[in-house]
Amino acid sequence: MPEETIFSKILNGEIPCKEVYSDDLCLAFRDIEPQAPTHILLIPRKTIRSLKEAEDQDKKLLGHLLFISSKIAQQEGLDNWRTVINTGKESGQTVFHLHLHIIGGRPLLWPPG
């Protein structure tokens, strides 16, 4: 059995979210602790712990997530944004269900901390 996470609970409706996009492969919702005026999380419905655990059979899904993240950013009216995938504890990953951060609405510094 895949381990339960906050995001698996959001997917099965146990925890509410502010949904912004949904299809048969993924769900997007607003981050509960936004780091910018727009901060959206996009997650696959399939349980994948992190990008590190993605398998050959997930290639199409990963492409879909990237493509949809751009659609969502544009739907939010963003011209500039950052797409972030934290992989592993030391990168800042706290929820072990693969997710893309879509962050925008303010100037973003580089390199990130």
User: Six-digit token pair at 36?
Assistant: 């910018």
Instruction: Between 25 and 32, name the residue whose CB sits nearer to ligand AMP.
Output: 32
Q: What is the DSSP string of 44-77?
A: ESS--SSGGG--GGGHHHHHHHHHHHHHHHHHTT
Decide if residue 108 touches ligand AMP (CB under 6 A): no
Q: Judge whether 72 and 20 are in contact, CB under 8 Å.
A: yes
Give the range of 26-34, 52-60, 64-72, 102-110 binding ligand AMP by CB under 6 A.
26-34
Q: Which of 2, 5, 30 is nearest to 97 (CA)?
A: 5
Give the range of 19-27, 28-36, 57-65, 66-74 binding ligand AMP by CB under 6 A.
28-36
Active site residue 97: no
Chain residues in the site for ligand AMP (CB under 6 A):
6, 15, 17, 31-33, 41, 86, 92-95
